[in-house]
């Protein structure tokens, strides 16, 4: 590890950045250094801007990927090598407001039905039934399933916060069947090494294969199951605050986005056209 990389890593650790964020930021700075084949501390502002433009205009990376690069470079120049002028030439992160494509109940049902591997089926079922992120479902331990209280304990979710979410009666039955077959010792969904959890990339691959087999063409990875969980609860009458607590949202505003994708809420609103007293059979002029 170079001194600069070590300094950057230590600065992120001091600020409580997650391991995943640390890896992403270091990789983003290293990618620019590799692009220019120079140490990042000697790369001037014009070339940093040119590199960011290259990522978005030529490589056409997704907004999220470009955003990570911007944030990582801003952190490196402002916090690691303390170039205060960096705030003037690295553009601030902007909030993107894209709505997810929500899986219907029928699509989720079909997705789960096409899975023949019991472990894979229960894995995706747990993700949907509890509204979990992929990092949260792979981190589940057997002892996190509290069958007496009918809750699942989520350890160190986003923001390193623990929380509880619901344990479906149906899911509990499926988990018991799965446990009798697999007998996982510690991790609920272990990888090849029974003492270590399955990787997030493996879980994403399981979801993609199931989605393809089910003939689902809507965009999105396994996080779509979390979106579906929240939207389906909202459409069944559960209040936003309760949904937000189960999702681990720190602000109600994060949960309110599901109001924008809930078909039930939109279908209950009358269009102003329906309020007009128009004659039923007026001839066209």
Interval 165-215: pLDDT, tens: 999 999 999 999 999 999 999 999 999 898 899 999 999 999 999 999 999
In a domain, 261, yes or no: yes
Among 57, 89, 121, identify where a domain stops: 89
Q: What is the mean pLDDT of the chain?
A: 86
Do 151 and 236 lie in one domain? The reply is yes
Do 68 and 153 lie in one domain? The reply is no
Do 179 and 57 lie in one domain? The reply is no
DSSP designation for 197:
B
For residue 37, is it left (φ>0), alpha (ψ between -120 and 50) or beta? Answer: left
Do 148 and 186 lie in one domain? The reply is yes
Specify the CATH number for the domain of residue 235. 1.10.443.10
Do 240 and 161 lie in one domain? The reply is yes
**Measured distance CA(197)–CA(190) in Å, rounded:** 4
Report how many domains make up the chain. Answer: 2
β-strand partners of 146: 151
**Measured distance CA(68)–CA(50) in Å, rounded:** 16
In a domain, 142, yes or no: yes
207 is catalytic: no
Per-residue pLDDT, 267: 59
In a domain, 148, yes or no: yes
* Percent of the chain residues past pLDDT 90, beyond the cut: 53
In a domain, 280, yes or no: no
Do 166 and 28 lie in one domain? The reply is no
Residues 147/236, Cβ–Cβ less than 8 Å: no
Residues 40/4, Cβ–Cβ less than 8 Å: yes
In a domain, 83, yes or no: yes
Do 227 and 165 lie in one domain? The reply is yes
282 is catalytic: no
Task: Record the pTM.
Answer: 0.69
Do 32 and 109 lie in one domain? The reply is no
In a domain, 162, yes or no: yes
Report whether pLDDT(144) > 80: yes
3-class secondary-structure state, position 227: helix
Place of tokens 């219907």: 104
**Measured distance CA(168)–CA(151) in Å, rounded:** 8
Among 40, 55, 89, identify where a domain stops: 89
Do 151 and 197 lie in one domain? The reply is yes
- Selection from 130, 124, 128, 235 nearest residue 189 by Cα: 124
Do 128 and 61 lie in one domain? The reply is no
| Cα R_g (the chain), whole angstroms | 23
3-class secondary-structure state, position 72: helix
Report whether pLDDT(10) > 90: yes
For residue 233, is it left (φ>0), alpha (ψ between -120 and 50) or beta? Answer: alpha
Specify the CATH number for the domain of residue 69. 1.10.150.130
In a domain, 170, yes or no: yes
Contacts of 41 (CB under 8 A, 6+ apart): 4, 81
232 is catalytic: no
Q: How would residue 250 be classed by pLDDT, with cut points 50, 70 and 90? A: confident
Owning domain of residue 36 = 3-89
258 is catalytic: yes
Q: Among 74, 133, 163, 227, which one carries the catalytic annotation?
A: 133
Q: Among 25, 128, 178, 258, which one carries the catalytic annotation?
A: 258
Q: Among 45, 119, 158, 209, which one carries the catalytic annotation?
A: 158
Q: Among 74, 121, 211, 226, which one carries the catalytic annotation?
A: 226
- Selection from 225, 232, 231 nearest residue 260 by Cα: 231
158 is catalytic: yes
Report whether pLDDT(88) > 70: no
Element (H, E) at 202: helix 200-213
In a domain, 194, yes or no: yes
**Measured distance CA(115)–CA(126) in Å, rounded:** 14
Do 145 and 118 lie in one domain? The reply is yes
Do 140 and 263 lie in one domain? The reply is yes
Per-residue pLDDT, 252: 77
Contacts of 120 (CB under 8 A, 6+ apart): 206, 210
């Amino acid at each position: 590890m170079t001194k600069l990389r070590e300094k950057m890593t230590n600065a992120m650790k001091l600020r409580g950045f997650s391991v995943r964020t640390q890896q992403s930021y270091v990789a983003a700075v290293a990618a620019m250094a590799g692009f220019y084949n120079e140490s990042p501390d000697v790369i001037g502002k014009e070339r940093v801007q040119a590199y960011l433009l290259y990522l978005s205009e030529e490589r056409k990376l997704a907004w999220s990927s470009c955003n990570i690069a911007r944030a990582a470079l801003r952190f490196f120049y402002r916090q690691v090598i303390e170039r205060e002028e960096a705030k003037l030439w690295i553009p601030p992160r902007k909030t993107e407001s894209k709505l997810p494509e929500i899986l219907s109940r029928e699509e989720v049902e079909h997705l789960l039905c096409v899975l023949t591997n019991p472990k894979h089926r229960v894995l995706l079922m747990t993700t949907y039934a509890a509204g979990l992120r992929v990092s949260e479902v792979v981190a589940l331990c057997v002892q996190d399933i509290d069958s007496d209280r009918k809750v699942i304990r989520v350890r160190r979710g986003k923001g390193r916060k623990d929380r509880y979410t619901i344990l479906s009666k149906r899911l509990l039955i499926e988990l018991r069947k799965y446990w009798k077959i697999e007998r996982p010792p510690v991790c609920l969904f272990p990888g090849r090494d029974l003492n270590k959890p399955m990787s997030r990339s493996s879980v994403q691959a399981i979801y993609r294969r199931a989605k393809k087999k089910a003939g689902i063409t809507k965009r999105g990875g396994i996080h779509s199951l979390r979106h579906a969980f929240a939207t389906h609860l909202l459409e069944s009458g559960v209040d936003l605050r309760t949904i937000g607590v189960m999702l681990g949202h720190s602000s109600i505003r994060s949960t309110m986005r599901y109001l924008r994708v809930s078909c039930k809420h939109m279908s209950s609103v009358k269009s102003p056209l329906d309020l007009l007293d128009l004659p039923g059979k007026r001839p066209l002029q």
